[in-house]
Chains A and B, each alone.
Chain A
């Protein structure tokens, strides 16, 4: 991986971003495109209507190898990995001893090993965590020379079908090894936009050719991190470091769906991961605060850090993600509120620059997720 003097890393597609006129910003140690000349709003809408290509090579890609890989990983996540079928993918969370979330990750059973994708900013922590806790039982292989491209949008499948063979049973959260126009790739049908789409792991040496091939398709435009954030926020997806952190449990995060039944108190393999007692106790008895959708009532965006108050001026929560949703065509946000206020249509105020802005608790997502779950 190319490295500059100031130690900001570059992805294999860096020259392409510059060539396309991207505005580059440092993000999690990488020089990344926040937007292209099209602009965040249009890139967002392009992804919702056609297809967008994202460079997400800053994320960590890790292989966990060995006979006990699934069993070992289960000791670190509250998720069923042992029974994850071959070429299926699952969302998981690394928890700490307090039940807080160290990171969220995607785990794929790639047959003879597990393929794991973690957040860029948590990458080194996660690798250390894996090595420390399960490094003696399994091989942890960090893919340093592998790029990750995300092709997202309702026309992503059409684009892929033109360049490779996509089986009908490759539904959301399924993986396949594919040759895309001559380039060998490991592909999962997943993403972070709320749309149908693919994440494509490809060797750095082939990444440029693949990106150019995909961008040459009439449906596809390059999309930067700015629209990636507005897309995931409208789709109600958590951003680690904002909506999830070390002091927030998956139960508080409204991620109960991610906690596999077999790993719960009444399941076949209950507990056995860091913070399990706290998390299982919270599942049984409830929590004091919960993540909810927050819809500002006017046009003014309400951003990360804004305090939430009830009608009697009591502080009852905080916004953890907020901005403008181009598809909603208005401001959208997520945050944590005391559980009594987590009921949809509860009217609250957000404090923005000292002023009260009316907001309402709403169900997530703001924009219906559009995953491909089969014909």
Chain B
């Protein structure tokens, strides 16, 4: 079973039963950033703390950070984003995922929002 959670910085985390999670940015975030032209992904193996900048997202206009919504070890990165960062614009919650992590502290997930709460936060 997998669960999706959201951060205030517009990242999503999909957790799996094996203690791993996929992380990306939300559809709202990609829309705000506009067309993405380059994504700098971290090294596999890096241990990253919650709140740390882990990837750089370059749009035509500006550069922004992907902030880690949870702590963990990077076990995979979406290398397809090197050739086609536009995947994030097309399918932010699917093919446009950024990194896969091994969660350091599953308890951190409780600090994130569920989908209803996140959608509500966008309206506020």
Contacts and interface: CB of A to CB of B under 8 A. Distances in A.
B40 A300 contact: yes
Contact of A323 (B40, B56, B60, B82): B60
Interface in A214-246: 226, 229-230
B63 A39 contact: no
Given A39-B34, A41-B35, A299-B38, A324 B60 contact: yes
Interface in A20-57: 34-35, 39-42, 44
Contacts, number: 43
A60 interface: no
Contacts of B76: none
B58 A324 contact: yes
A34 B34 CA distance: 11
Interface in B20-50: 34-35, 37-38, 40
Residue of B40, B58, B61 with most partner-chain A CB within 10 A: B61
B37 A299 contact: yes
Nearest to A330: B37
Contacts of A324: 37-38, 58-60
B35 A301 contact: no
Interface string A313-353: 00000000001101000010000000000000000000001
Interface string A268-303: 000000000000000000000000000000011101
A34 B37 contact: no
Residue of A44, A299, A303 with most partner-chain B CB within 10 A: A299
Residue of B56, B58, B59, B60 with most partner-chain A CB within 10 A: B60
Given A40-B35, A300-B40, A324-B37, A226 B58 contact: no
A300 B58 contact: yes
Residue of A230, A303, A323, A326 with most partner-chain B CB within 10 A: A323
Contacts of B40: 300, 353
Contact of A353 (B35, B56, B61, B82): B56
Contacts of B59: 40, 324
Nearest to A301: B58
B38 A40 contact: no
B42 to A, nearest CB: 12
Contacts of A326: 60
A229 to B, nearest CB: 8
B35 A39 contact: yes
A40 B58 contact: no
Interface of B: 34-35, 37-38, 40, 56, 58-61, 63, 82
Given A39-B35, A41-B35, A299-B82, 16 more contacts: A35-B34, A39-B34, A40-B34, A40-B59, A41-B60, A42-B35, A226-B61, A230-B60, A299-B37, A299-B38, A301-B38, A324-B38, A324-B58, A324-B60, A326-B60, A331-B37
